[in-house]
Amino acid sequence: MNEALRSAGMRAVRQCKARSWPDVAAFSAALAAAAGARDDRWAPLVIKPLRGCASGDVFLCATEVEARNALDTIVGSPLYATPGAVNREALVQDFLEGVEYVVDTVSCKGAHKAMAVWRYDKRPANGAPFVYHATELRAASGREEGAVVAYAMQALDALGVRIGTAHIEVMLTRDGPRLIEYNGRWHLTDFRELCNDCVGYNAIDATVDAYLDHEAFDALPPAPLKLAAAGRVVHLVCHTAGTVAAVRHGAAIRALRSFRAMDVYGAFGVGQRVSPTIDIRSDAGWVHLSHADAHVVEEDYRALVALMPTMFEVEVDA
């Protein structure tokens, strides 16, 4: 997909496919040379499967050793959603520094509309580099958000999208937006009610309209320029391993002024064996926060993150 953007004249992340270590070493050397660095400088890389989900086996490699380990982990591992197949190669990309956004879109007859703009809060946790902590709704009227939305719309054209929904992850770097990935699906979270509260509409209903009610789709604005309320999906991060003896802090979370909804997954209930969260697939659940005052949401979010390390009381296996 990044090559399609590049062919359309858009800026895109530098990348290559690697079957073996010489492919990775040559790519890193080329990045370092392009940056004017000395020959022995290691360029930070992201190495991940060509097909995957939820940051699974996505590695930030600051050293040659880390890159070798990442390549060895991916090549020969099971290919996502393809029983019996394995990864024959890995995708190696230049590490993009910046703020990560998502634009959820719906298209109809080649016309694209942004349904929601989100800003990720991913941070290191439990030894993993990119652990989701929150997905925050943003108004598209901001300078940064507007640039990201415009880039996402260009990407849809470059990829030839005419109809349907998309979930487009974009890194806003100091050199402008860069595509991380395009997904022809809805946002993989329970976003409908939160978007209705904060945006006034949602991508699920708009997708139905794109196919069945063109007049209703045409009536939607091109992007959510103003939010009725601040909103976040908070990802519950488990920080411990063992058998769950108690799930704590439920009352404190529900007492937050911006609390709207909560779901602790059954796999993290009492009696279940759990491991620390390292990606979105190992999330312990979610909490929805929304309030007319964005400062209230921010304050509650910080309080919620502070509760996570002691949320799951476990009995450590002998």
Task: Identify the CATH number of the domain in which residue 183 sits.
Answer: 3.30.470.20
Q: What DSSP state is assigned to residue 59?
A: E
177 and 189 both lie in a single domain:
yes
d(C-alpha 217, C-alpha 87), whole Å: 40
118 and 238 both lie in a single domain:
no
193 and 309 both lie in a single domain:
no
The reported pLDDT for the residue numbered 52 is 80
In which order are the strands placed within the sheet that holds 164-173? 176-183, 164-173, 99-108, 111-125, 128-138, 230-236, 285-291, 259-264
215 and 111 both lie in a single domain:
yes
Both tokens assigned to 181: 């990935």
Out of 205, 227, 249, a domain closes at 227
Residue spans of the chain under pLDDT 70: 37-41, 54, 318
Out of 94, 116, 149, a domain closes at 94
d(C-alpha 170, C-alpha 152), whole Å: 8
CA angle 188/200/198 to nearest 5° reads 70
The reported pLDDT for the residue numbered 151 is 98
- DSSP, collapsed to helix, strand or coil, labels residue 67 as helix
41 and 57 both lie in a single domain:
yes
d(C-alpha 202, C-alpha 192), whole Å: 6
104 and 168 both lie in a single domain:
yes
111 and 220 both lie in a single domain:
yes
d(C-alpha 317, C-alpha 242), whole Å: 6
The reported pLDDT for the residue numbered 179 is 97
Compute φ and ψ for 4, nearest 5 degrees.
-65, -40
In which order are the strands placed within the sheet that holds 242-247? 273-274, 242-247, 312-315
The reported pLDDT for the residue numbered 33 is 82
Q: Please tell me the total count of domains within the chain.
A: 3
The reported pLDDT for the residue numbered 318 is 62
223 and 295 both lie in a single domain:
no
Query: Which contiguous run of DSSP H or E holds residue 99?
Result: strand 99-108
168 and 282 both lie in a single domain:
no
The reported pLDDT for the residue numbered 129 is 87
Tell me how far the alpha carbon of residue 196 is from its chain's centroid: 21
Global pTM reads: 0.90
Both tokens assigned to 264: 């602790």
Q: Tell me the residue range of the domain where 172 lies.
A: 99-227
111 and 217 both lie in a single domain:
yes
161 and 218 both lie in a single domain:
yes
The reported pLDDT for the residue numbered 29 is 87
195 and 285 both lie in a single domain:
no
d(C-alpha 148, C-alpha 300), whole Å: 27
Q: Tokens 């004017």 map to which residue?
A: 36
Out of 227, 254, 284, a domain closes at 227
CATH number of the domain at 236, please.
3.90.1170
The reported pLDDT for the residue numbered 51 is 86
d(C-alpha 285, C-alpha 185), whole Å: 21
CATH number of the domain at 28, please.
3.30.1490.20
